[in-house]
Amino acid sequence: MPFGPDDWNAVLLTLKLAGTTTLLLLLFGTPIAWWLARTRSWLKGPVGAAVALPLVLPPTVLGFYLLVTLGPNGPIGQLTQSLGLGLLPFTFPGLVLASVLYSMPFVVQPLQQAFESLGERPLEAAATLRASPWDTFFSVALPLARPGFVTATILGFAHTVGEFGVVLMIGGNIPEKTRVVSVQIYDHVEALEYTQAHWLAGGMLVFSFLVLLALYGSKARSRHGY
């Protein structure tokens, strides 16, 4: 059997990481995207640029700064220690934090676009029908932005699954904690275990293709909807 227990663990860990990350990003990314889509503040530019940074930065830059800031001498490391949380590098929560930062633009940007494409009108119409801004957000904006949420969820999940550089830099390759599929593949290749590498790498290839297929398929469908 070319698929060992280590490989399964890596797969499960990867799914858990991607799931947790996506959930957190939808939770925190939605208000950020909403704010970005609607604000007229001068901060829109800087915040938008910061969210988009992982698109252009090499993962090594993010990994390096995470290693330094989350470490015992870094500001966040000192904060987590003083809160009794210990240090985040080499832990699953540490990977989640890194993935949230790394996958942020893949969730926030589709949501922002979806919110922007709503325009003012449905929100104004809701206001003239006695709906408060919160009410409007949940009863009008969220349902109308549904295609954006589908895209954001799929891209956020898939991109986290595909993450490698940052994990390699702050993960420490610990089985069941930080050894995700991409790292496991890397180890197999480095150790010349090409058969196992093929199983995992092929699996990733098929998975990624199916994800994108689902995404583009749903886009094509939603174009014919509403």
Partner 1 sequence: MATEMPNDDQAIRARFHIVYGEFSLAADLTLPGRGVTALFGHSGSGKTTLLRAIAGLERHPGAYLEVNGEVWQDGERFLPTHRRPLGYVFQEASLFPHLSVEANLDFGRKRLAAAERRVDLAQAVELLGIGHLLARRPDKLSGGERQRVAIARALLASPRLLLMDEPLAALDGKRKAEILPYLTRLREELDIPVLYVTHSPDEVARLADHLVLLDNGQVAASGHLAETLARLDLPTAVSDDAGVVVEGLVAGHDAAYHLLALDFPGGRVQVAHGPESPGKRLRFQVRARDVSLSLSERDDSSILNRVPATVAAIADADTPAHVLVRLEAGGTPLLARITRRSRDQLQLQPGKSVWAQIKAVALLA
Partner 2 sequence: MTLPRRSAAILATALLGAFAATAARADEVQVAVAANFTAPMQKIAAQFEKDTGHKAVLSFGATGKFYSQIRNGAPFEVFLAADDETPARLEKENGILPGSRFTYAIGKLVLWSAKPAIVDNQGEVLKKGGFDHLSLANPKLAPYGAAAVETMKALGAYDTLAPKFVQAENIAQAYNFVATGNALLGFVAYAQVLDEHGQLKGGSVWLVPGKLYSPIRQDAAILEKGTINGKAKPAAEALVKYLKGDKARAVIKTYGYDL
Note whether 116 binds partner 2 by CB under 8 A: no
By CB under 8 A, is residue 190 in contact with partner 2? yes
Is residue 149 at the binding interface for partner 2, with CB under 8 A as the rule?
A: no
Residue 56 has a CB neighbour count (10 Å cut-off) of 9
**Residue 4 touches which of partner 2, partner 1, none (CB < 5 to 8 A by kind)?**
none
Tokens in use for 145?
């932005």
> Alpha-carbon distance 86 to 69, whole Å?
13
Interface characters, 60-99, with partner 2 (x: CB under 8 A):
-------xx-xxxx---x--------xx-xx---------
The amino acid occupying position 50 is A
CB of 100 closer than 8 Å to CB of 51: no
Shortest approach of partner 2 to residue 97 CB, angstroms? 14
Q: Is 41 helix (H, G, I), strand (E, B) or coil?
A: coil
Q: Could you give the CA distance from residue 28 to residue 12 in angstroms, rounded to a whole number?
A: 24
- Residues 131-150 touching partner 1, rule: CB under 8 A, are 131-133, 135-136, 139-140, 143-144, 146
Classify burial at 166, counting beta carbons within 10 Å of its beta carbon; exposed 0-12, middle 13-18, buried 19 or more: buried
Dihedral angle of Cα 207, 197, 61, 114, to the nearest 10 degrees: 0
CB of 89 to partner 2, least distance (A): 4
Q: Give the footprint of partner 1 on residues 139-198 (CB under 8 A).
A: 139-140, 143-144, 146
Query: Residues in the site for partner 1, rule: CB under 8 A?
Result: 121-122, 124-133, 135-136, 139-140, 143-144, 146, 226
Given the rule CB under 8 A, which residues bind partner 2? 67-68, 70-73, 77, 86-87, 89-90, 168-170, 172-174, 186-187, 189-192
